[in-house]
């Protein structure tokens, strides 16, 4: 099945964020696009990339699509008897909670900060959700108890400040050892702090050759706690993995060029492309492209161990699953994540008439195994980030 068909809401439309969890599930946020609603997809990376879930999200999650350039991360919390997705709703500074077991969604308002990045703690007795703001005037790092989010006892929470960063951050990622990674607004750096120690900001990577205006990155950690950093520069993209730099993505998307008129081909250069999120599972790198791009697909993958200097991007899970306006396909993917069972979770944001949706793909089968549509009470203009616990 072609999983990248413009305006076909049964396929991927505008991927914003992605994440791989510890079970090998790739979670994907597919942003709303035209008539297609926002949704979460989950793919099983151990089962031929089969889609195990597609979940359309309710209309009461309000956001502004124009904020698409300020993407955060998604995190999946794998509890003993359930799996939860935590999604940042920016316009009303809320966390949307999705239960995989009950297929229900609820919202918890977070007071005092403009939400952007989220990440789940991996060490310590109490499970925490780390929060950051992208605003310069809110450089703090905050936490709330995960139990307060999943037990549905509170409609609003006040986060606890645990320290200040240099400035605001768009994204947070944490590894299994408790090392928290974050970007710094208007600086070409990737920083980290040890969550088990006193707050101390450490520079992991700094690129002095790029201006902050052009510097654009997405980063994640894999199952081995290796850090992956994808950076856009004027010549395309480069990938940093554990300090090793390699050119990875070609300057133009050759596999799609023939489908579009020549005057639009300039938009298929990574110099102009905006990446929603990245996730790693096995030897594959997953990259989402929101609908702010003119790229004809919203979720892609490539084999990073290829002998090719710039291995080709392939529509994921297929080209037929990216049909604009077909609400049975991916429409506007932003956030993605892989869980420990080899499932890719996808948040598909609403687009035109298509509702926001969660998809889950089995990455061993390259097929959809489950999906869930948002209720009509969540706006088709919804815009969020999603978080899973790995």
Is there a domain that residue 170 lies in?
Answer: yes
As a whole number of angstroms, the distance between CA 300 and CA 316 comes to: 5
Residue 148 pLDDT class (50, 70, 90 cuts): very high
pLDDT band at residue 189, thresholds of 50, 70 and 90? Answer: confident
d(CA 58, CA 277): 22
Measure CA 270 to chain center.
18
* DSSP assignment of 111-175: -SS-EEEEEE--SSSS-EEEEEE-STT--EEEEEEHHHHHS---SEE-PEEEEE-SS--S-EEE-
Whole-structure pTM over 0.85, yes or no?
no
Banded model confidence at residue 255, pLDDT cuts 50, 70, 90: very low
Mean pLDDT of the 220-232 span: 79
Structurally, the chain folds into a number of domains equal to: 1
Decide if pLDDT at 261 tops 80: no
Question: How far is 114 from 93, CA to CA, in rounded Å?
Answer: 6
Report if residue 1 sits inside a domain: no
In sequence order, the β-bridge partners of residue 284 are: 281, 303
- Range with lowest mean pLDDT among 109-123, 324-338, 357-371: 357-371
Number of CB atoms found within 10 A of residue 232's CB: 21
- Residue 40, token pair as written in the block: 């979460």
Top mean pLDDT of 37-41, 68-72, 118-122, 209-213 is at 118-122
pLDDT digit string, tens, across residues 332-368: 888 888 887 888 888 887 777 887 788 888 887 766 6
Q: Which residues pair with 96 in a beta bridge?
A: 87, 107
- How far apart (Å, rounded) are the C-alpha atoms in residues 160 and 130? 10
Scored b (16 or more CB within 10 A) or e, 317-333 reads bbbbbbbbbbbbbbbbb
The residue behind tokens 């959700």 is 129
CB 115 within 8 A of CB 93: yes
Task: Give the model's pLDDT for residue 300.
Answer: 87
275-288, pLDDT tens digit by residue? 888 888 888 889 88
CA 31, CA 239: separation in Å to the nearest integer? 25
Over residues 247-272, mean pLDDT: 44
> Which CATH number does the domain housing residue 28 bear?
2.120.10.30
- In the β-sheet with 160-164, what is the strand arrangement from edge to edge? 115-120, 128-133, 140-145, 160-164
Mean pLDDT of 158-164: 93
Range of the domain at 35: 6-387
Three-state DSSP class for residue 388: coil
């Amino acid at each position: 099945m072609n999983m990248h068909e413009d305006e076909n809401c049964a396929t991927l439309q505008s991927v914003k964020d992605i994440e791989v969890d510890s079970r090998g599930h790739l979670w994907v946020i597919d942003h709303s696009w035209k008539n297609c609603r926002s949704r979460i997809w989950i793919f099983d990376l151990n089962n031929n990339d089969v889609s195990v879930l597609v979940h359309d999200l309710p209309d009461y999650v309000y956001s502004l699509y124009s904020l698409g350039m300020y993407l955060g991360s998604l995190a999946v919390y794998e509890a003993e008897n359930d799996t939860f997705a935590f999604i940042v709703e920016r316009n009303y500074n809320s966390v949307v909670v999705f239960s995989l077991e009950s297929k229900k969604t609820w919202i918890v308002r977070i007071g005092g900060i403009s939400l952007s990045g989220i990440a789940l703690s991996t060490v310590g007795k109490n499970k925490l959700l780390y929060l950051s703001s992208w605003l310069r005037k809110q450089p703090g790092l905050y936490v709330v108890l995960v139990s307060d989010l999943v037990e549905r006892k509170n409609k609003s929470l006040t986060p606890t400040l645990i320290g200040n960063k240099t400035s605001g951050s768009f994204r947070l990622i944490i590894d299994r050892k408790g090392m928290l990674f974050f970007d710094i607004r208007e600086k070409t750096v990737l920083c980290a702090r040890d969550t088990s120690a006193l707050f101390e900001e450490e520079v992991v990577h700094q690129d002095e050759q790029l201006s902050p205006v052009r510097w654009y990155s997405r980063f994640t950690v894999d199952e081995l706690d290796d850090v992956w950093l994808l950076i856009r520069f004027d010549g395309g993209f480069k990938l940093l993995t554990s300090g090793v730099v390699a050119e990875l993505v070609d300057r133009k998307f050759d596999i799609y060029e023939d489908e579009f008129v020549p005057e639009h081909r300039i938009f298929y250069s990574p110099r102009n492309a905006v990446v929603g999120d990245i996730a790693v599972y096995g030897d594959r790198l997953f990259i989402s492209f929101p609908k702010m791009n003119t790229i004809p697909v919203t979720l892609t993958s490539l084999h990073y161990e290829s002998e090719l200097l710039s291995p080709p991007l392939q529509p994921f899970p297929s080209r037929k699953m990216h049909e604009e306006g077909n609400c049975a396909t991916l429409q506007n993917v932003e956030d993605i994540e892989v869980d420990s069972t080899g499932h890719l979770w996808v948040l598909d944001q609403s687009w035109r008439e298509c509702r926001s949706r969660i998809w889950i793909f089995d990455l061993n089968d390259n097929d959809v195994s489950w999906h869930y549509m948002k209720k009509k009470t969540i706006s088709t203009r919804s815009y969020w980030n999603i978080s899973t616990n790995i």
